[in-house]
Chains A and B, each alone.
Chain A
Amino acid sequence: MRFTTLLFLIGLIVPSFGAEIHPQMLAESIDKRLAELWTKEGVTPSEIVDDATFLRRVSLDLIGRIPTPSEVRDYLADSSKDKRAKLIDKLMQNGGHQRHMATFWRRSWIPQTDTNEFSRYTDDFEEWVAVRLQQKTPYNMLVNELLTIPSQPSASKLKSVSPINFYIVNENKAENLAASSSRAFLGINLDCAQCHDHPFARWTRDQFWQMAAFFVPSTIDGGKTTLAELMIPNSNKTVAAELLDGSKFIVPEKYAPESGRVVLSSWITGKNNPYFARNAVNRLWSHFFGLALVEPLDDLSSEVNTKGPQADLLKELSEAFVKSNYDLEILTKAITQTRAYQLSSGSGDSCTAESRLFARMPIRGLTGEQLYDSIQTASGLPVERGDVGQSLDARRRFTSQFRVERPIFTERSISQSLALLNGRMTNLLTDPKNNPTLAGLIDSPFLETQDKIEVLFLAVYGRKPTKKETMIIMTYLEKSECNKAFGDLFWALINSTEFNTNH
């Protein structure tokens, strides 16, 4: 009964978006779906977070760093009713947003760039994503550009930003490119099909190599473009390019070595592809909620992942995403404006039922990038930027030590703890000479000790201290030499779990 009602509702809601998708309406329909899910599962959602917590969370998620003390003060002082929606708009206009999301998409699409072997290909790729996001390139066009870049680029193209590193980190091998593309853009894991038919498989070894064949340069034969064939390694079998769903395709008449990729891309990024939009929405959802609507991220083709309320919601959102012409900004605004996104993290584990039902915001770890930029921000230093000629070496060293693939599954290692407790960077920042936040409060003759504590809390935690916290710190300060003690306090806050998580 309930199931049929649900189907009925889906039928009603989707057309009501019309041609134009409004973030607020989309947010409401997400909340409606989730509320139904909670009722069905008998779960009570946690309460909505206060303004300071929301500001910190949404800043970390949208621009990759904690807010500055003045951003906290301004936001807390704002009494307008729609301040959260206004804040989201403001953050998305911040250049840091595209940069942060470029890191997210780079990590989702080519996770191998997080290994030492390929890390040097990170920056150029992220620059390409960031530039395209600034130009408001629709998501399908973004992926299409990546999949169809010419094998022999013209001189003018060579100078501009390019996603060429996608090919380099896949070692230009057809099999690597096929596996990466299906995981990155379709949410399908074909890895096991590379060697054998998986016992429970949806995909066979032949299908894998048929997909890989699209990445082999095509040939020209009697004036006609011919897609290449591929020999399956350790076998005598040769296969021709075939789409995963077996659908027919037309090879473009005009010859280009990348013709195979052009054909593949028009299928992957096409409106009828059952995985393309779902994969994008599912991944973006996981960026904001820790868990994706459907887990694991690279198994969208499995039977269990196409059924159930979360899968239905994913489908519905994907349809809206396609209707919006693959507009990532609309989707981002919709997700961050939901009530669900504003729920508190409460207590308990991040992977329990409530989190899987999105009735509670899980506590997530910070990516290396978020942590580094937040430490800079807490110290009163500007975030370092490569595009204005600053050296990113220190940031790169730090992020390679603090690698995080999925923030919700972060595990802090002993080496990382040692670095943050005893490392050179932390140690320099406990000295007011290198830390404008500390220098500012120590030099202020008009600030009482309590005010100084508050300044430091706003800078590091993005909130005011509680009475108990003030008391703990006052006790500490009484027994210490004052200037040094604030350095100690900064050190302690930077190493705390509150600072090191997104909650």
Chain B
Amino acid sequence: MFNSLRYSRRDWLTISMLGSTGISQSGWLQSLASDVTKKGTSGSRNHKSIILLWLNGGPATIDLWDLKTKHENGGPFREIETSVNGIKISEHLPNLAKHMKDMAIIRSMATREGDHRRARIVGLTGYTPQGAIQFPALGALVAHEFHDPQADLPGFVSVGGRVSEDIGGGFLGPKFSPFVVGSAARRPSAGDAADLFVPDLGKPEGVTSEEYTRRLNLLKKIDLEFNTGKGNKVVETIRLANDQAVRLMRPEAAGAFRLEDEKENLRDTYGRNNFGQGCLLARRLVERGVPFVEVSLDGWDTHQDNFERVKKLSTILDTGFSALLTDLKERGMLDHTLVVCMGEFGRTPRINGSKGRDHWSASWSTVLAGGGLKTGQVIGKTSKDGTEVTSDPTRTPDLIATIVKAVGIDPTKQNMSNVSRPIRIADPSAKLIKELL
């Protein structure tokens, strides 16, 4: 499938060179009119993909992956057995418990940032903010390595609305910024996925394909008259976005976003909410060769009523995440799709006066699944009260380096930054988590 999407690129730049005769018979327009949806098959790809399940707000991982039932910090949740002997997780994640063989829990995340915005930058880029350097998001770095510029689908898609709109292509440029599906206006945990569609992907009403192509042709010609020289970023991003928008309108590309093409019962198993359907959309995109998809689930900033809220969110997470793993496995895609589940930090082991938990970065957990990793294991340990990491402390750069290494990218590879200094994909201090690779 991946190959079928790289096919002949016929963007509007090419069209304009064809002149006005016969345009309607050629180029993307033909495909636009023929409306053929190709079914994806995996296996022909030449790269792995990553799906990042971003638990926004800082999840109480002490109530998900590393429970402290014997300590007062533990709260009311119980632990349940998983498919791997000796590994226990929250009772509110029963379906994921069955997938433990394909998952690895890192219980020893020890980071420094306790402010949402800064912690998000660190979590999503792997770097601590430094002066003027515009660090790209992990999704941009992976898209930069793997994305075929001829492909119609973007290399980095963010589903369910982005909370940190400023973390994107960074110094790699707008080309690698995420294509955002779904608005942040609605919590991803809510709704029936009605806004997980791409608005304005079809031609304007009342305009025929032929007329539309003529318009694009006219736009292209007129736009060339605005000569700003090469390399003006502001102008280039508009041209690039217009170009990509038109390519995304092709039926094969646009079809990737048509969740209604999936069987009803499969859609049900993912959960009829934005997060669940976002996971399903992620699978469809990865199936079509998209290297990086981010699906966010907001609402984890549980300063009050932590347990009620985490219980509800756990069910949404459990349903969507486990359905994704089952689906990927059944399609033979799990080995080349790495699923990462994390937020910006964990939450205080001590329960506050409002039955809530506050920001805590000293000891928390993340989960990795599939991707050919050595799964079915737990990395690291925290103390009995959950406040300290007692073995294998893991920092964000270590995690990022391990993630990219797992999909076949050298974490020490350098990209030129906006401050004219080469910057490695992962922070130079990063150590690979060897037990996983």
A421 CA / B205 CA spacing, docked (Å): 12
> Does A476 sit at the interface, judged by CB under 8 A?
yes
Within 8 Å of chain A (Cβ to Cβ): is B203?
yes
Residues on A with C-beta less than 8 A from B231 are: 348-349
Question: Which residue from A194, A349, A493 sits with its C-beta under 8 Å from B222?
Answer: A493
Q: Please judge, given known A-B contacts A192-B118, A417-B242, A417-B244, whether A496 and B112 are in contact too, CB under 8 Å.
A: no
In this assembly, does A449 line the interface, its C-beta being within 8 Å of a C-beta of chain B?
no
Is B113 an interface position by the 8 A CB rule?
Answer: yes
Q: B218–A414 contact, CB under 8 A?
A: no
| Bound-complex Cα distance A363 to B228 (A) | 9
Q: Given A347-B228, A350-B232, A472-B222, are A412 and B237 neighbors across the interface (CB < 8 Å)? A: yes
Question: How far in angstroms is the closest Cβ of chain B from A52?
Answer: 14
CB distance B113 to A195 under 8 Å? yes
Q: Of residues 173 to 209 in A, which have CB atoms within 8 Å of B's CB atoms?
A: 191-192, 194-196
Closest to A503 in B: B228
Q: Are A414 and B223 closer than 8 Å at their CB atoms? A: no
Residue numbers in B under 8 Å from A348 (CB-CB)? 228-232
B160 to chain A, nearest CB (A): 13
The interface residues of chain A lying within 8 Å CB-to-CB of B80 are none
Residues on B with C-beta less than 8 A from A497 are 223, 226, 228, 235, 238-239
A-chain residues with CB within 8 Å of residue B240 when the two chains form the complex: 412
CA distance A500 to B183 in the complex (A): 24
- Give the contacts of A428-469 with B (CB-CB under 8 A): 430, 466, 468-469
Is A394 interfacial (CB 8 A cutoff)?
no
- Chain B residues contacting A480 (CB-CB under 8 Å) are 214
A116 cross-chain contacts in B, Cβ below 8 A? 183-185
Are A350 and B233 closer than 8 Å at their CB atoms? yes
Among B129, B154, B174, the one with the most A-chain Cβ atoms within 10 Å of its Cβ is: B174
B20 proximal to A (CB < 8 A): yes
Q: Which positions 413-431 of chain A face chain B at CB distance < 8 Å?
A: 413-419, 421-424, 426-427, 430
Closest residue of A by beta carbon distance from B215: A488
In the complex, A104→B226 CA distance in Å? Answer: 28
Asked if B200 and A363 sit within 8 Å, CB to CB, the answer is no
- Which chain B residues border A469 with CB–CB below 8 Å? 222, 225
A234 and B115 alpha carbons, distance in the complex (Å): 13
- Asked if B219 lies at the interface with its beta carbon under 8 angstroms from chain A, I say yes
Q: Let me know if B199 is at the binding interface, CB within 8 A.
A: yes
Determine whether A489 belongs to the interface, using a CB cutoff of 8 Å to chain B. yes
B235 touches A501 (CB 8 A): yes
The reply on A153 being an interface residue by CB < 8 A is no
Report B226-262 CB contacts with A as 1/0, cut-off 8 Å: 1111111111011111101110110000000000000
How far is A257 from B228 in the complex, measured between Cα atoms in Å?
56
Residues of A within 8 A of B200 (CB): 415, 418-419, 421-423
Count A-side interface residues using an 8 Å CB cutoff.
64
Interface check B86, CB cutoff 8 A: no
Segment of A317-325, A380-388, A402-410 in the binding face: A402-410
B264 within 8 A of A: no
A295 within 8 A of B: yes
Q: Knowing A194-B115, A488-B215 touch, does A296 contact B241 (C-beta < 8 A)?
A: no
The chain A residue with its CB closest to the CB of B181 is A415
CB–CB A492/B233 < 8 A: no
Does B435 count as interface, using CB distance less than 8 angstroms?
no
Neighbour of A422 across the interface among B20, B201, B214, B238, CB < 8 A: B201
Q: Name A296's contact: one of B131, B166, B232 (CB within 8 Å).
A: B131
A116-B184, A296-B131, A346-B229 as given contacts; A418 in contact with B234, CB under 8 Å: no
Across-interface contacts of A500 in B (CB, < 8 A): 238
B154 & A363 in contact (Cβ 8 Å cutoff): no
A124 at the interface (CB under 8 A from B): no
Question: Does A411 touch B at the CB level, under 8 Å?
Answer: yes
Q: Does B169 contact A (CB under 8 A)?
A: yes
A427 and B234: CB pair below 8 A? no
The answer to whether B132 has its CB under 8 Å from any CB of chain A is: yes
Chain A residue with the shortest CB-CB distance to B184: A116
Which of A363, A418, A498 touches B245 (beta carbons < 8 Å)?
A: A418
Name, among B201, B206, B221, the residue most crowded by chain A CB atoms within 10 Å (CB to CB). Answer: B221
Q: At the interface, yes or no: B393 with Cβ under 8 Å from chain A?
A: no
For residue B165, CB closer than 8 A to chain A, the reply is yes
Contact: A414 with B245, CB < 8 Å?
yes
Report the separation of the CA atoms of residues A500 and B226 in the bound assembly, to the nearest whole angstrom: 11
A-contact 0/1 string along B314-334, CB 8 Å cutoff: 000000000000000000000
Return chain A residues, CB-CB under 8 Å to B245: 414, 417-418, 421
Cα A364 to Cα B233 in complex, Å, equals 9
Is there contact, CB below 8 Å, between B248 and A418? yes
> What A residues does B84 contact at CB under 8 A?
none
Q: Is B179 an interface residue (CB 8 A)?
A: yes
How many Å lie between the Cα of A234 and that of B232 in the bound state?
47
Confirm or deny: A365 has a beta carbon within 8 angstroms of a beta carbon on chain B: yes
Q: Is the CB of A488 within 8 A of B211?
A: yes
Interface flags for B139-180 (1: CB within 8 Å of A; 0: not) read 000000000000000100000000001101100001001011
Q: Using A414-B241, A489-B218 as known contacts, say yes or no to A347 and B225 having CB atoms under 8 A apart.
A: no
Residues of A within 8 A of B211 (CB): 484, 488
Measured between beta carbons, the chain A residues less than 8 angstroms from B376 are none
Question: Does the CB pair B239–A415 fall under 8 Å?
Answer: no
Distance in angstroms from B262 CB to nearest chain A CB is: 23
A residues adjacent to B (C-beta < 8 A): 115-116, 191-192, 194-196, 233-234, 295-296, 299, 345-351, 362-365, 403, 405, 408, 410-419, 421-424, 426-427, 430, 466, 468-469, 472-473, 476, 479-480, 484, 488-489, 491-493, 495-498, 500-501, 503
- 18 A-B pairs within 8 Å (CB atoms) are namely A116-B183, A347-B228, A349-B232, A403-B165, A408-B234, A412-B238, A413-B174, A414-B245, A419-B200, A421-B245, A421-B246, A422-B202, A423-B200, A466-B225, A472-B218, A497-B226, A497-B238, A501-B238
Contacts A233-B358, A427-B206, A488-B215 known; list 19 others, CB within 8 Å.
A115-B184, A116-B183, A191-B118, A347-B230, A350-B232, A363-B228, A363-B234, A411-B168, A412-B238, A417-B238, A417-B241, A426-B204, A469-B222, A472-B221, A479-B20, A491-B219, A495-B219, A497-B223, A497-B235
